[in-house]
Amino acid sequence: MDNADPARPAPYLDIQHVSAAYGTTKVLDDVSLSVAKGELIALLGSSGCGKTTLLRSIAGFVTPTAGRITIDGRDITRLAPEARGTAMMFQSYALWPHLDVAANIGYGLRMRGWKKDAIAERVGEMLKLMQLDGYQKRSISQLSGGQKQRVALGRALAVDPSVLLLDEPMSNLDYKVRIELRHELRALQKRVGITAVYVTHDREEALTLADRIAVIDAGRIAQLGTPEEIFHRPASSFVAGFMGADNSLAVMRAGNGWTAAADSAAATTHAHFRGDCARLIESATATEAGSLLLDGVVAQRIYLGNGFRYRIRAGNDEVWVDDEASRAEGASVRIAVAPDVLLLFGPEHGSARQTNAPIAAQNH
> pLDDT of 186-221, one tens digit each?
888 888 889 999 999 999 999 999 999 999 999 999
4-18: average pLDDT: 81
310-324: average pLDDT: 93
- Of 156-165, 196-205, 343-352, give the range with the top mean pLDDT: 196-205
The model's pLDDT over 27-40, given as tens digits with 9 standing for 90+, comes to 999 999 999 999 99
Asked which of 144-158, 278-292, 341-355 is least confident by mean pLDDT, the reply is 341-355
Which residues, at least 6 apart from 55, have a Cβ–Cβ distance to it below 8 Å? 43, 88, 165, 167, 197, 199
* Cα–Cα distance, 28 to 22 (Å, whole number): 10
Q: Three-state DSSP class for 190?
A: helix
- pLDDT at res. 13: 97
230-259: average pLDDT: 89
Asked whether residue 360 carries a pLDDT value surpassing 60, the answer given is: no
- pLDDT at res. 52: 94
243-258: average pLDDT: 87
107-115: average pLDDT: 87
Mean confidence (pLDDT) of the chain: 86
- pLDDT at res. 3: 52
233-256: average pLDDT: 90
User: Which is higher by pLDDT, 274 or 261?
Assistant: 274
296-303: average pLDDT: 94
Residue 89: band (very low, low, confident or very high) from pLDDT cuts 50, 70, 90 = confident
117-133: average pLDDT: 88
Asked whether residue 267 carries a pLDDT value surpassing 60, the answer given is: yes
Q: Three-state DSSP class for 86?
A: strand
- pLDDT at res. 257: 78
Say if CB 327 and CB 333 are below 8 A apart: yes
The model's pLDDT over 300-314, given as tens digits with 9 standing for 90+, comes to 999 998 899 999 999
- pLDDT at res. 173: 76
Asked whether residue 7 carries a pLDDT value surpassing 80, the answer given is: no
Asked whether residue 77 carries a pLDDT value surpassing 60, the answer given is: yes
Burial track 179-218 (b if 16+ CB lie within 10 A, e otherwise)? eebbeebeebbeeeebbbbbbbbbbebbbbbbbbbbbbbb
